[in-house]
Structure 1
Amino acid sequence: MTKSESLSEVHQSVHTDKRKGWRRILAFIGPAYLISVGYMDPGNWATDLAGGSKFGYQLIWVLLMSNLIALLLQSLSARLGIVRGLDLAQASKHAYPRWANIPLFGLAQTAIIACDLAEIIGMAIGLQLLFGLPLIWGISITIFDTILLLFLLNKGMRAMESFIVSMVFIVGLSFLTEMFIVEPSLKEVVKGFEPSLLSGDALYIAIGIIGATVMPHNLYLHSSLVQTRKIERSNKGIKEALKFNLIDTTVALNLAFFVNAAILILAAAAFYKNGLHEVAEIQDAHKLLSNIFGNVAPTLFAIALIAAGQSSTVTGTLAGQIVMEGHLNLRIQPWLRRLITRLLAIIPAFFTILHYGDDALGGLLVLSQVVLSLQLGFAIIPLIHFTSDKKLMKDFAIKPWVKVLAWGSAAVIISLNVKLVIEEISGWTKDANIWWLYVFIFPAIILTALLLLYVFFHPIIDKKNRAKQMVPHGNALDIGKIEKISYERIGIAVDFSKNDRNTIRHALIQGGKDAHYYLIHVVETAAARYHGDIVMDHETQSDAENLEKYKANLADLGYDASVFIGFGGTARAIADISNKNEFQLLVMGAHGHKGLKDLIFGTTVDSVRHKVNIPVLIIR
């Protein structure tokens, strides 16, 4: 059965209706903590360190503003998931045509890979700082996060949330301890909350802080994670869920703000006050902490970095699953989906180290944030459209003043991130050999800008499909008059195991004595794979004799049958014989392989049914 729920493995897996009082509130606590880790990943660390070391406490107000914008957008994301039961990617699939969803998926997946890349680099740097492990080995180790995520998912949503909260706790505790070590000036910290005019490098770093704080994959993720709570689908139940999730989001994002503020304050107190104004690299910060404060502060710094990278990786990979299933309705095996996401992030990191050396990772970290910024508009604009729509959201559409704040925040984020991209490209144009800029980068930017305009105007212009958006799979059809289906040409895949008797019996029931049956067996020996139908090894001859025995047995029972032998790949051979002979029905036995056996022996049934256009009856 096809599952349409977002993150179907854990959909509505946490019950809220059986709890009362404070326990009921706790039942809703969790999703925002998974979101909060995205607000304190290594990308944030880089911008916070640069801001604190270069401008002291001056940019704390930018962090606060970024956090307030993030709180607004994350609450809209949670509202979409709770009210409509759709994540942001699913809602986009229903609101925009398929041709638009393909590039929207591509951009979202690119942003997730960019996030994952930053987290891989941060994790590898943390392992190097703590254990002296070479960066390339640290990056290789991060591939095992895929196994960790599968383990956590199998243990349930609560186990995953507990893991994330423990990682966040380690990060927060590490920086709280470091605050006592560096002893920042409380008066100057408070003064940093006062807004000031920004220009030059201060503006550039402020843009970087905003770009690293409000991340698109968190909007996709939050709208899905809130659906792990089973709520009462009434106005009262939805209102209660919205209230408790707002509390969850506020607490979690404020925690993320304090962590980011702590990093900036640490950089201001440790580096800016000591005249070290050019600290942007994470490794530099660790080294300087060692010189100034001894071993305790840098050790805590490295531990926090590993914890932040580990937890951000889990949430980034989940977001990859959401955008793939949402935009494309494409579901592949969980372990494969997560492995692909991780590999796509590891490959650029590997290439950078091998080709440019360890020192280039800092530049790659900045580039990942630039790539991330490009996708923000494609998540924010649809989110505001969806949550503003009274026809779809009914009583839970956002109020006009919230809408004004949301569009204002979107305008600020998009314009500042566009400025960040322009700044980067301006730096690239100083290179003499920039032909690639005109061949690849500029056309990509123009197409991206056109798509962004389409995403903004399409929901305003095209209102006739609003009703369709409310039905995930379309409307149920009238089944009509039922007529008996008579199969005349039925294929039967056999393997001479004890399952054959059951498979053949079910096939005979479908067609009776009026149908013609085609017995199929595939020889999979090495000789058969290489030489095909010219092979005459012992196994082929034995299998041919067995097929003739089945044919004679059926003839004695009054059934007409023919035999076919395929060679090489089982799924392809069965499908080729079925298509060539125009079977109307294919009957196959399933061995019931699971887990590791599927990896070793393959999944023939799944492969065959994707290669034929006829009904496939699977017998266990």
Structure 2
Amino acid sequence: MPKARVLEREGVRRPASVPRLAWLIGPALVAGVAYLDPGNVASNMTAGARFGYLLVWVVVLGNVMAWLIQYLSAKLGVVTGESLPEVLGRRLRNRWGRRAYWLQAELVAMATDIAEVIGGAVALNLLFGLPLLWGGAITGAVSISLLLVQSRAGAQPFEFVVIGLVAIIAVGFTFGVFVAPPDPAGIVAGLVPRFEGTDSVLLAASILGATIMPHAIYAHSALARDRFAQETGITTSRLLRATRWDVTIAMLIAGTVNLCILLLAAANLDGVPGTDSLEGAYAALRDGIGPTVAVLFAVGLLASGLASTSVGAYAGAEIMHGLLHVRIPLVWRRLVTLVPALAILAVGFDPTVALVLSQVVLSFGIPFALVPLVALTARPELLGRFRNRAITTAAGIAASIFLIVLNGLLLWLVFTGA
């Protein structure tokens, strides 16, 4: 553990000359891109189009849980100076156990890559009529450019680029709600937890998988580590205070955008044939509300795919480095993980179905990241006086149990045909 972190844990304060709080904000906004990826768009649009306001409560609950989870991830990186995969890599002594854990984490990261490349391909097809395969290749090429910014220019320039894309995403996905507002009574009714059959449970798991993304948990601890490693003149307490603001801003943006996507679909696409796909939703928005809303929606989807795919590649590389102690260039990893996404596009598999199913895969990977995160951040020998309070650990355990039970219910419904 870095010496500066150890001194702060023991109560020794470092120099008081510090940058303003605003300059410490950024890692959560980058990690928060994971909550605005094309998988989120597909899951929330499908939920709104098929079930109206029914699953509003899932989006809200998922965002609340995401705040806690992302803060714990960032706290681990700030206090220990290590990412979650690095900490687990040290503590998992059994070589085969560590490899098995790496394999499931890497598969989750690959599912993320698939969703993001497919989303970018669909957006380019909607905007310019490009074939999906070519759109996927272009999305991958642009994501490689973004990764080069991170690897050559450092954390902050990468943050600025991603935050700019987040602004485009926010405008693209929220504009339609102001043009065609949702029903307030429907929103209130949607806050009551309930399901309507197997498909609604599947979509709920998909929304949670898209909202609480395992690779974002791994990535945020690494982003906080990289961003704050150079801030040797700032106390850990101040860094954590800045982190809470960072996570709050990021989750407010992500939660608002995700909710707007679902509300836009619920208010304008509920019951409209063919709107359970991104292409159908785009056409319905264009015909029902106007071309401006539809174009902005497609632009937001494109920015979503470009931004989130670079963060996904960053997470995958960190997972491999932390657990297997192998570091490969981000660009090479991006090239390798492009293959499954391009293969899906090449065989003509329905892109919206692929996006939704990828989010279900992510949902099943959540406990493997969340349970160790809650356990590790509660350990005094690891985080010292910054370990979780009892109520924080209890909230983390409750979130873990909820997600595991939901996934179990999903399996039971799917395999029993209930």
Say yes or no: TM over 0.5: yes
Instruction: Name the aligned partner's letter for residue 87 of structure 1.
Output: S
Partner-residue secondary structure (3-state), 1:198: coil
Q: Of 334, 340, 344, which aligns to 1:352? A: 344
Query: Is residue 39–residue 256 contact of structure 1 (8 Å, CA) maintained in 2?
Result: yes
Instruction: Work out the CA distance in 1 between the residues paired with 2:323 and 2:150.
Output: 25
Partner-residue secondary structure (3-state), 1:280: coil
Residues 295 and 157 of structure 1, relative CA distance in 2, 3 Å threshold: same
Instruction: Name the aligned partner's letter for residue 75 of structure 1.
Output: Y
Query: Is residue 374–residue 418 contact of structure 1 (8 Å, CA) maintained in 2?
Result: no
Instruction: Work out the CA distance in 1 between the residues paired with 2:241 and 2:146.
Output: 32
Instruction: Name the aligned partner's letter for residue 289 of structure 1.
Output: L
Tell me which residue corresponds to 1:196.
193
Tell me which residue corresponds to 2:402.
412
Shift of 1:170: 0.6
Instruction: Name the aligned partner's letter for residue 165 of structure 1.
Output: I
Tell me which residue corresponds to 1:287.
283
Instruction: Work out the CA distance in 1 between the residues paired with 2:44 and 2:194.
Output: 18
Tell me which residue corresponds to 1:316.
312
| Matched ranges for 1:124-273 at <5 A | 124-144=121-141, 145-189=143-187, 191-192=188-189, 194-200=191-197, 201-227=199-225, 228-230=227-229, 237-272=235-270
Shift of 1:339: 2.5
Query: Is residue 231–residue 237 contact of structure 1 (8 Å, CA) maintained in 2?
Result: no
| Matched ranges for 1:403-482 at <5 A | 403-424=393-414
Residues 246 and 265 of structure 1, relative CA distance in 2, 3 Å threshold: same
Instruction: Work out the CA distance in 1 between the residues paired with 2:413 and 2:144.
Output: 35
Query: Is residue 208–residue 363 contact of structure 2 (8 Å, CA) maintained in 1?
Result: no
Instruction: Work out the CA distance in 1 between the residues paired with 2:154 and 2:193.
Output: 46
Instruction: Work out the CA distance in 1 between the residues paired with 2:70 and 2:294.
Output: 33
Q: How many residues align?
A: 402
Instruction: Work out the CA distance in 2 between the residues paired with 1:50 and 1:333.
Output: 36
Instruction: Work out the CA distance in 1 between the residues paired with 2:16 and 2:79.
Output: 21
Residues 160 and 17 of structure 1, relative CA distance in 2, 3 Å threshold: farther
Percent identical residues: 34
Tell me which residue corresponds to 2:10.
none
Instruction: Name the aligned partner's letter for residue 71 of structure 2.
Output: S
Residues 312 and 103 of structure 1, relative CA distance in 2, 3 Å threshold: same
Which structure carries more helix by proportion? Answer: 2
Query: Is residue 119–residue 302 contact of structure 2 (8 Å, CA) maintained in 1?
Result: yes
CA RMSD of aligned residues (A): 2.4
Tell me which residue corresponds to 1:444.
none
- Deviations along 1:480-499, one digit per CA (max 9) or x if unpaired, are xxxxxxxxxxxxxxxxxxxx
Q: Of 375, 388, 396, which aligns to 2:378? A: 388
- Deviations along 1:141-163, one digit per CA (max 9) or x if unpaired, are 12312233113431221111111
Instruction: Name the aligned partner's letter for residue 40 of structure 1.
Output: L
Query: Is residue 205–residue 363 contact of structure 2 (8 Å, CA) maintained in 1?
Result: no
Q: Of 375, 387, 407, which aligns to 2:365? A: 375
Partner-residue secondary structure (3-state), 1:154: helix
Structure of greater Rg: 1
Shift of 1:101: 1.1
- Deviations along 1:118-138, one digit per CA (max 9) or x if unpaired, are 000000000000000010111
Tell me which residue corresponds to 2:90.
94
Q: TM-score, normalised by structure 2?
A: 0.90
Tell me which residue corresponds to 1:363.
353
Q: Of 15, 31, 36, which aligns to 1:40? A: 36
Shift of 1:32: 0.5
Instruction: Work out the CA distance in 1 between the residues paired with 2:175 and 2:361.
Output: 34
Partner-residue secondary structure (3-state), 1:106: helix
Partner-residue secondary structure (3-state), 2:182: coil
Shift of 1:197: 2.7
Q: Of 100, 103, 111, which aligns to 2:100? A: 103
Instruction: Work out the CA distance in 2 between the residues paired with 1:169 and 1:118.
Output: 20
Instruction: Name the aligned partner's letter for residue 284 of structure 2.
Output: L
Q: TM-score, normalised by structure 1?
A: 0.61
Shift of 1:378: 1.3
Instruction: Name the aligned partner's letter for residue 237 of structure 2.
Output: K
Shift of 1:216: 0.5
Query: Is residue 53–residue 278 contact of structure 1 (8 Å, CA) maintained in 2?
Result: no
Shift of 1:93: 0.8
Shift of 1:330: 0.6
Query: Is residue 17–residue 230 contact of structure 1 (8 Å, CA) maintained in 2?
Result: no
Which range moved further: 135-144 or 327-336?
327-336
Shift of 1:271: 1.2
Shift of 1:254: 1.1
Query: Is residue 53–residue 277 contact of structure 1 (8 Å, CA) maintained in 2?
Result: no
Partner-residue secondary structure (3-state), 2:20: helix
Partner-residue secondary structure (3-state), 2:193: coil
Query: Is residue 123–residue 306 contact of structure 1 (8 Å, CA) maintained in 2?
Result: yes
Instruction: Name the aligned partner's letter for residue 269 of structure 1.
Output: A
Instruction: Name the aligned partner's letter for residue 363 of structure 1.
Output: V
Instruction: Name the aligned partner's letter for residue 364 of structure 2.
Output: L
| Matched ranges for 1:424-573 at <5 A | 424=414
Shift of 1:278: 6.3
